Amino acid sequence: MNGGETCPPLARSTLDRAAHRRTDTDWLVEAWLRARVLVLDSGNEGQTLVRADASPPSLMLLGADDLPPEAESAAMFLGVEPDGVPVFAVDAALPELPGTRAVNLREVGHLLADRDAGIFTTALALTNWHIRHGYSSATGAPTRMDEAGWSRVDRSGGRIWPRTDPAMIVLVHDGVAGPDGRCLLGNNASWPGTPGERRFSCLAGYVEPGESAEAAVLREVREEVGVGVERIVYAGSQAWPFPGSLMLGFLATADPEDPVRVDPTEIAYARWFSRAEIGAALAGRTVDVGGGARLILPPPSSIALFLIHRWLDGWMDPVH
């Protein structure tokens, strides 16, 4: 990913979701016979297969004839490709196919073409929702997949549909242009440590009931680092199906003179970084963050790194 991209890496897709087909049983039966099918193994980090010799990675999609007959009953209809071919996903152990390798979405999401990014992201998000909703939250009764994977229903007909959890993520900066401009990043207290490295990322948190996304930005930044923000600007969103969030990305300004007071239950470290430091870290150079550790930035498939790139390249509000 680079700063010139205007879309977060997991927000890309070319599929027509064709929602009207989800209850069309006759069409789905016919569609399965000519479909492209993504096999995704939820029991192994949500991995799927890509072609081993392809650069960038390319999803390995199978045909119905390549799968056991029982796969059809558990197939999730994802949509229709521009060429008219339907796409399904099934949660199953990955087949052993020559010329392929197993990958997860965090690893390759940013490298995939728009078409493959959309297929993989949707399949993983839907699969993770099914895993977490095997029982009705209202009655405790078991549920089964219905509507081609887009709902679950219990014995009495009670139906639930997929939901995502809205979360905000914000790149806090000082509003200063050029290499001396600074951004405020934090190291989450729950992240595992790696000797000699310390990861810093944007501040984030879930949107609470009855709260707007912008209000969540104000609250979370204040709670996590004790700083007030202004000029909250929406920058984009993407699914983060680990297991089921929608990340709403923002940039906001703050005064670097305000003292940073971290909530130690959430943030282990927080500090301001200059554009020069962020640029150096992205270029692979060492940026010392104390204690013998060097700066590590968020992974390329994350919206966090997308926001950092937008700020690094000077995008700070809609007039830029």
**Could you report the per-residue pLDDT of 7-31, keeping only the tens digit for each?**
999 999 999 999 999 999 999 999 9
266 lies in which domain range?
165-312
Same domain? For 38 and 81 the reply is yes
Rg (CA), the chain: 22
Report how far apart, in Å, the C-alpha atoms of 254 and of each of 95, 206, 259, 276 are: 51, 21, 11, 19
pTM of the model: 0.94
Same domain? For 89 and 17 the reply is yes
Which residue, of 132, 157, 186, is where some domain finishes? 132
Of 319 and 142, the structure prediction assigns the larger pLDDT to 142
Same domain? For 122 and 169 the reply is no
73 pLDDT band (50/70/90 cuts)? very high
Mean pLDDT of 76-103: 97
314 pLDDT band (50/70/90 cuts)? confident
Split into its structural domains, the chain has a count of: 2
Same domain? For 68 and 189 the reply is no
Same domain? For 290 and 230 the reply is yes
Looking at the domain assignment, is residue 148 inside a domain?
no
How far apart CA 299 and CA 260 sit, in angstroms, is 25
Same domain? For 119 and 203 the reply is no
Looking at the domain assignment, is residue 28 inside a domain?
yes
Same domain? For 184 and 96 the reply is no
How far apart CA 255 and CA 226 sit, in angstroms, is 12
Same domain? For 185 and 119 the reply is no
Same domain? For 174 and 262 the reply is yes
What is the pLDDT, as a whole number, of residue 320? 38
